[in-house]
Amino acid sequence: MSTKVLLAVVGPTAIGKTALGIRLAQHFDTEILSADSRQFFKEMQIGTAVPSKDELEAAPHHFIQHKSITEPFSVGDFEKEALSLLDELFQEKEIVVMVGGSGLYVDAVINGLDEFPEVDPEIRANLNQQLESEGVKSLQNELKQKDPDYYKTVDLENPHRLIRALEICRASNRPYSSFLNRPKPERPFKSLYIGVDAPRQTIYDRINARVDLMMEAGLLQEAQKLYPYRNLNALQTVGYKELFEYIEGQCTLEAAISEIKKNTRRFAKRQLTWLRKNEAISWVPHDAEPKSVLQMVTDRLKTNLYAQ
């Protein structure tokens, strides 16, 4: 009996993961799961760089713009739905491709999530209100006090992560970190990580060019439509927050665009920091010949997976 395999294409933003994922899906006659937490929401198209119409038609995609920003959709929800879909796809497919820059979401599908206690929605609402009225610094200070261990490792500029940790701290009266790294369930499939990389300056240049293209495509108009929903979790993200500040008259459009580029570069740096910790990733250059990448993946499947 052959082994079912999930091919996870990972890497920093704007590196070319979508193109590689499509090539792999076409080569192996399979489908793609998006694990990009910013592309789940149908109201956010330009600012999340969802695959184009041609790309979506080139291979079947799942989890692209399938939720509304008004619907809660957590990493736990994604894990459950992704595993259910994989069960279906693996009935017919030997290989399925997963593409995404959201490391936590990729790892949730492959390794499982730590189990946490239930949280009263009011706690989360209070924390979101605290973020709105007092800023991210107040969340950082509270986390430093309640869970100094997690404070040292978390992305302190990511309010989603801070709020998630603090809501567990408040709900359980225990540090968030005390729930981490417990034994994970085994998956009924094997996984192979393919990482796409480039020199840092190349990544930054690609990010800057992508932001310019987004602005030309109407990102400001998209942000203006979404402005009434600016306090929703889904919109606490790079590309929108900066334009909301421009809409509110806090900065010039030029300054907002510059901040989007800077914050996206920082985001890419954090993505790479996360990914570098994963020794299971096989890295390929962003400009590698498609044929050589496909050959490498095929070889890895034979030697590291099917031989087991």
Q: E strand or H helix at 292, and its extent?
A: helix 290-300
The answer on whether 303 is annotated among ligand-binding residues is: no
The answer on whether 16 is annotated among ligand-binding residues is: yes
The answer on whether 15 is annotated among ligand-binding residues is: yes
First-to-last alpha carbon distance for the chain, in angstroms, is 12
CA atoms within 13 A on the CB side of 307: 7
The answer on whether 117 is annotated among ligand-binding residues is: no
The answer on whether 14 is annotated among ligand-binding residues is: yes
Q: Residue holding tokens 């009935």?
A: 91
The answer on whether 11 is annotated among ligand-binding residues is: yes
- Distance of alpha carbon 103 from alpha carbon 274, whole angstroms: 7
Q: Are 221 and 244 in contact (CB under 8 A)?
A: no
The answer on whether 165 is annotated among ligand-binding residues is: no
- E-strand ranges in the chain read 5-10, 32-34, 61-62, 95-99, 190-197, 282-285
Q: Are 242 and 181 in contact (CB under 8 A)?
A: no
The answer on whether 13 is annotated among ligand-binding residues is: yes
DSSP state of 302: I
Q: Residue holding tokens 């499939």?
A: 189
Q: Residue holding tokens 């149908």?
A: 42
Feature table: binding site for substrate:
13-18
Feature table: binding site for ATP:
11-18
Feature table: binding site:
11-18
